[in-house]
Amino acid sequence: MPIYEYECKACGHRLEKLQKVSAAPLTDCPSCDAAELTRLVSAAGFRLAGGGWYETDFKSGGKKNLAGDGSSSDGGTSKTSAESSKTASA
């Protein structure tokens, strides 16, 4: 359930209320009893940040960098671990 933030236009009192998404917005101020509460728009309580949580966490094998253009950041000269071990043993 999300936490909604309210402010009374009559007295300026602010409060937070844990409510269901389907619940009707509050209208009566608990501080002054006026029917002047308005729901405020506020930032989300979480943020997805980082180098691509979906792209790197849920894919396997050579499918890990589908968002890129197919080349690596070093101009496409990097080798996979299998290629590197073949070159090292030769």
One digit per residue, the tens of pLDDT, for the chain of length 90 reads: 888 999 999 999 999 999 998 999 999 999 999 999 999 987 766 666 666 566 555 556 665 555 555 555 554 455 555 555 555 555
**Sole residue written with tokens 């979906």:** 54
- Does 76 map to a domain? no
Residue 18 lies in a domain: yes
Residue 12, domain member (yes or no)? yes
Q: Does residue 77 form part of some domain?
A: no
- For residue 13 the two structure tokens come to 């009192």
- Structural domain count, the chain: 1
Report if residue 71 sits inside a domain: no
| CB hemisphere CA count around 25 (13 angstroms) | 14
pLDDT at position 2:
85
Element (H, E) at 85: helix 81-89
Q: Which domain holds residue 12?
A: 3-40
Does the predicted model carry a pTM greater than 0.75? no
Residue 83: predicted pLDDT: 55
Q: Encode 49-86: b = buried (16+ Cβ within 10 Å), e = exposed.
A: eeeeeeeeeeeeeeeeeeeeeeeeeeeeeeeeeeeeee
Residue 11 lies in a domain: yes
19: in domain? yes
